[in-house]
Amino acid sequence: MRSLHGLLAGVGFLMGLIVVGIASWAQPSEPVRINYGYTGDEDPLQNVSIVGNSASPYLLVLGPLVGALLGWLCAVVATRLGWKLSRSK
């Protein structure tokens, strides 16, 4: 029964990775204005504006973990209903 729990938790983790990957890839990109002009004695790096990804790093980590937890919970329910992994010949 432990193998069923591990298998479904692993599948849930992979599904969470896929969902997070697609969600972060499909985020609408916004136009970014970057000024590279250097005018005199100013520090040239002051005029550069950089916009990063708006997705929180916590969401990127929690997605696969939530998927693994949901997979494990499905395995617990399945084992209580009598499901088990078996080797058939």
| 39 within some domain | yes
Task: Write down the H helix ranges in 26-56.
Answer: none
pLDDT at residue 22 in the model: 86
| 53 within some domain | yes
Q: Which two tokens stand for residue 20?
A: 């997070």
Per-residue pLDDT of the chain (89 residues; tens, 9 = 90+): 788 999 999 999 999 999 988 887 776 666 656 666 655 555 555 555 555 555 577 878 899 999 999 999 999 999 999 998 887 66
| 19 within some domain | yes
Which domain does 44 fall in, by range?
Answer: 2-80
| 88 within some domain | no
Token pair 């896929």 is at which residue? Answer: 18
Question: Of 52, 71, 60, nearest to 18 (Cα)?
Answer: 60
**In degrees, to the nearest 5, what angle opens at C-alpha 62 toward C-alphas 30 and 70?**
125
pTM of the model as a whole: 0.65
- The whole-angstrom separation of Cα 56 and Cα 65 is 15
